[in-house]
Structure 1
Amino acid sequence: MLPAGSRVRLTGRSWSAAGRIRHVDVSTDGGATWRRARPVGPSIDGAWQRWELDWRPAAGSHVLQARATDVRGNTQPDIAQFNTLGYRFDAVVKVPVTAA
C-alpha cells in the first residue's frame, strides 16, 4: 500500500535486444495516459536502462505500467505475440497498487 498524496518515486529498468533505450513512458492509470520517465545513467547497447518518475497517488486503486522505446523505434507491445515455447515475453506488465 502506498501513502495517498505523498510523493512516491517509481523506479525501474528497461532493456531491448535491438539497441539502446531511447525513452521509457510510465502510466499510473492503466494506460489511459503516459508520462516520460527520467533516465538514470547512460543508455548503453546491451545494458538495462534505469529510470525513475515521481508520482503523487490519489487514494484508491491504480494500475502502473512502463513501456520502453529503443533507438530503432521498437516500443513494447501491450500484448506479447505468440511464440512456440513462450520464451519471448516482451509485453507491458500491469502492476496493481493501492494508495490510502
Structure 2
Amino acid sequence: MHDNTYLIILACAVVTYMTRIGGHMILSRFGSPHYRVEAALEAVPTAVLTALVAPSLLNQGPAEALSIVIAGVVALRGSLMISVATGLISLVALRFVLG
C-alpha cells in the first residue's frame, strides 16, 4: 500500500473517534439530558439499522424480506442484539431453504 493509504486510514480513525467522543463531551457539559433527548439517543441505533436494512427489504429476494420481518417481530419483544442475531440466523436458514 502507498503511504497515503495509511494516512487516510489514520485520518478516518481520528475523525471517527473525535465524533464519538465529541458527543459525550457536549452532553457532559449540560449535566443529565432531558428525557426526550435520552429517548432520541436511545432510538439512534434502531434508526440506523433500519436505514441499512430497508433497501434489502425492497430490493432483495424473499429470504431477505422474511428475515427482516422475523427480526422486526422479535425486536418488539426482545433487545436489539437478540433481534439482530435472530435476523442473521433466519437469513442464513432461509437462504439455505429458499435458495
Shorter-chain TM-score tier = under 0.3
Q: Which has the higher helix share?
A: 2
TM-score, structure 2 as length reference: 0.21
TM-score, structure 1 as length reference: 0.21
Q: Which has the larger radius of gyration?
A: 2
Q: Which has the higher strand share?
A: 1
